[in-house]
Structure 1
Amino acid sequence: MVSDHDAATLIALDERIAILRSNLSELTEQAVAYSGAADEDLAAERMAQQQQLLDELLKQREQLAR
């Protein structure tokens, strides 16, 4: 059974996960519009950072939900 605190934490994690997924979607759209190696490198770096954060949050959520 999930405690009230854990439930609140899960809700907060879900909100952060949704934001990161939205950010990744926007970054993907921006990357398509970019031209030039410097812009593409910056977009790829930002996407990698957002994906890493998303992976960490998903792992935290999975552990809490157990």
Structure 2
Amino acid sequence: MSNESSMSEAELNNRIRILEDNIRQLIEQAAAASGEQNEARIADRLSQQNEELERLTKERDARSKSAPPKK
């Protein structure tokens, strides 16, 4: 896991886009998965991706609140 405070705003936004895409793909996989083991594995990955997305989104929001207004 990377340190969010060392990421540039562009890197942070890119990572958020990647996580959103990963989550979309995991949801599609979950819909197509059969078998308890596959479903559990996908659910675990989905939970991890959602946690990281929430953490990065909070970091981005905190930065935008503390940043000086753009001219």
TM-score of the superposed pair, with normalisation by structure 2: 0.79
Structure with greater helix share of residues? 1
Q: Post-superposition, which runs of at least 4 consecutive aligned residues in structure 1 deviate over 4 A?
A: none
Task: Count matched residues.
Answer: 59
| 2:18 equivalent in structure 1 | 19
User: Which structure exhibits the higher relative contact order, with contacts defined as CA atoms closer than 8 Å and separated by 6 or more residues?
Assistant: 1
| 2:8 equivalent in structure 1 | 9
How far is the alpha carbon of 1:35 from its aligned partner?
0.4
Q: Deviations over 1:7-64 (max 9, x none)?
A: x721111100000000000000011110011110000000000000000000100111
- CA RMSD in angstroms comes to 1.1
SS for the counterpart of 1:18 is helix
CA separation in 2, counterparts of 1:42 and 1:31? 9
Identity %: 37
